[in-house]
Amino acid sequence: MATLPRNELARLVKALGMVGSSHDGKVVNAIRLATRIPDQAGVTWPALLETHDQLAVATEAASVLLAENNALKAELEQARAAGRSSRESRRAPA
């Protein structure tokens, strides 16, 4: 998985943000910088974007697993509460 160091990624995001400038000179410089950052890190644009896709998939999978984990915790707590209630009702004097 090809990634950029965090500081280089921040520079890339800043450069891409300047592409929307109304000043043509800024736009050209921003594009040059945005192209140079991955090149200097030895990362291609397709690899960089593929990494983003992989991270998005991993994040979605983690969200699903977290939701399942929370549901199982709730189910376990209900089962424990039912078990306690059942034991208490058996101990109650008749």
Interval 61-89: pLDDT, tens: 899 999 999 999 999 999 999 888 877 77
Q: What is the mean pLDDT of residues 15-23?
A: 93
pLDDT confidence of residue 74: 94
Give the whole-number percent of the chain exceeding pLDDT 90: 55
Q: What pLDDT is stored for residue 69 in this prediction?
A: 93
- Rounded Cα distance, 12 and 77, in Å: 47
In the chain, where the domains are located: 1-43, 46-94
Both structure tokens of 47: 């690899």
Cβ atoms 11, 37 nearer than 8 A:
yes
Number of alpha carbons in the 13 Å side-chain half-sphere of residue 81: 6
Q: 3-class SS at 23?
A: coil
Q: What is the mean pLDDT of residues 25-38?
A: 94
What is residue 34's predicted lDDT score, i.e. its pLDDT? 94
Q: What is the rounded CA–CA span in Å between residue 1 and residue 54? A: 8
